[in-house]
Structure 1
């Protein structure tokens, strides 16, 4: 049922629905990134931005160049400049990228991450990499960044391109990132390949990390990164990023016992990520040591009394990210 808008003229109401239709079907030019015909916030009168779902909670969007991938976005309306080319004030909003874990739960986008965006003056982006992209039994491929059918690193870069086109008031060239568990795995591997795209990063409790070890191949180490990604790991650029490692003091249980990993190997094969043979509390300390050995400074937070619980470390993560995001505001 359609609802009347008594405070608006018939012309404004007609424009509202025309803009909503245009936002869903697209009307401008961005063909090189799959956005041919896409409406941007610069095309929409500011008073209609919420009506076309371009500010506050944005509907989950498909990545146009690979519709297997989608993303959620929160843009605080009161702090967003829809067209910086016409009015440079306020400056572009910083963008925080939240990388989900194995369970693909992005519910925080509608609760504490949205509240954090409002209080910090930033936008939050959550790319969504569905399970099954590399086959019906796949749940881990996005964490490795490169697999037979998926380059999740390029997927995120394409998401950032799409967001940059449609939301010109967001700063997408250099972003902030947070990830816990499987998200922490993606996050630190993305840091290795694209440190120039990151201002600060929180790496939370990655169970099976990639060490800065040039004697082992990816995803255990970085010996063959040039062959896999056609890129080099630049520890100097990584050192320019402000880095937090975070884990709970009770995050000391293995995911699956020896029988589970043997069954998994027999059933699905031994490719991809290795079995987890040390706790996350141990592995993150080893990961941080590999950074230190490479001359890369980082912060290390062990949150007392917390097990493998993303929300249990969230306050510590926000406490790290908020001042970093606000530095340039």
Structure 2
């Protein structure tokens, strides 16, 4: 990727990293290759090696600061839901960053990029001119350049609600880039069904993402996966009346534009509770030999904070093992 010269942790003495805003809470940064989206990080200062290349240059005759002897810092990517609370997603994991030695990356996929009323396109990975999966990979490239002490080739990933949809679909396309994932309470999922088109199934995967888009089922079978949802999170989002209204409104807009195919398609989506959705996904995966742990948190509704400790308990052993 062709990026301009940027200041990285290699250029800054360790005592100035905080003043340069290269550790701790990192301000939201526009993605260089597509400034329509941005990202923020939390980097625990005590765990970051600013310049891992110094280890290779180290000899017995030179004294090396202990900070330059730290191993690469693993990365946990947390994906926001429809509300776009990326900074909250980041801040909820600060304790994990310090205790378990991991950096946090929280992308922000703005609403209304390709359609004024759009809230959901990032969850689908591809929509008109938006490729949110590619944007995520480009974010990882930028992180690798600015913070060479962070491991970006293989990452941990978690997401809740709309973020759970994003994570589940990224799993299919980029399983080789993931160490472990948590899929939290998605309202809609993609089945490994070659009879259904994306995003319901994978029939037209090559048409949507190109000929190189392949689902590596053998890799998925080895990937640690958590499905997590509250026990009370089994009502249809918005209720049946909302979906009836939305479907009619979308048909109305489609008729105004003269788009008959859009009118037939209607509102789309699945009128199924999130608990039932994840149970069905787990069973479908089992038929493909893909294992996952389904965690149902008692007494919790559609609340990312209510399942957070369960998610951290799942990811923490894998993070520590790195």
2:255 aligns with: none
1:75 aligns with: 43
State the shift of 1:266 in Å.
3.1
2:121 aligns with: 141
CA contact (8 A) 2:248 2:266 kept: no
CA contact (8 A) 1:104 1:128 kept: yes
Counterpart Cα distance in 2 of 1:40 and 1:235 = 37
Alignment pair present for 1:43 and 2:11: yes
2:292 aligns with: 298
- What does 1:90-129 correspond to in 2, within 5 Å? 90-109=70-89, 111-129=91-109
Any unmatched runs of 5+ in structure 1?
1-31
Alignment pair present for 1:281 and 2:261: no
Counterpart Cα distance in 2 of 1:187 and 1:109 = 14
1:27 aligns with: none
Please say which of residues 253-262 and 190-199 is displaced more in the overlay.
Answer: 253-262
Please say which of residues 193-202 and 207-216 is displaced more in the overlay.
Answer: 207-216
Can you list the C-alpha shifts for 1:234-279, whole angstroms capped at 9, x where unaligned? 1111112110011111111111233322332333355698233110
Alignment pair present for 1:319 and 2:308: no
Please say which of residues 231-240 and 152-161 is displaced more in the overlay.
Answer: 231-240
RMSD: 1.5
1:164 aligns with: 144
- What does 1:16-35 correspond to in 2, within 5 Å? 32-33=1-2, 35=3
Counterpart Cα distance in 2 of 1:128 and 1:93 = 22
Alignment pair present for 1:262 and 2:244: yes
Counterpart Cα distance in 2 of 1:121 and 1:107 = 19
Any unmatched runs of 5+ in structure 2?
56-67, 252-261
2:227 aligns with: 245
Counterpart Cα distance in 1 of 2:117 and 2:92 = 31
Count of residue pairs brought into register by the alignment:
296
Q: Using a 3 Å threshold, how does the CA distance of structure 1 residues 272 and 325 change in structure 2: closer, same or farther?
A: farther
CA contact (8 A) 2:37 2:109 kept: yes
CA contact (8 A) 2:250 2:267 kept: no
State the shift of 1:116 in Å.
1.3
Can you list the C-alpha shifts for 1:172-223, whole angstroms capped at 9, x where unaligned? 0000000010000000000000001100000011111111111101000011
Match of 1:218 among 189, 193, 198: 198
Please say which of residues 94-103 and 272-281 is displaced more in the overlay.
Answer: 272-281
Match of 1:173 among 140, 153, 167: 153
1:85 aligns with: 53
State the shift of 1:139 in Å.
0.2
Counterpart Cα distance in 2 of 1:110 and 1:120 = 15
Match of 1:55 among 12, 17, 23: 23
TM-score (norm 2): 0.89
TM-score (norm 1): 0.87
CA contact (8 A) 1:74 1:109 kept: no
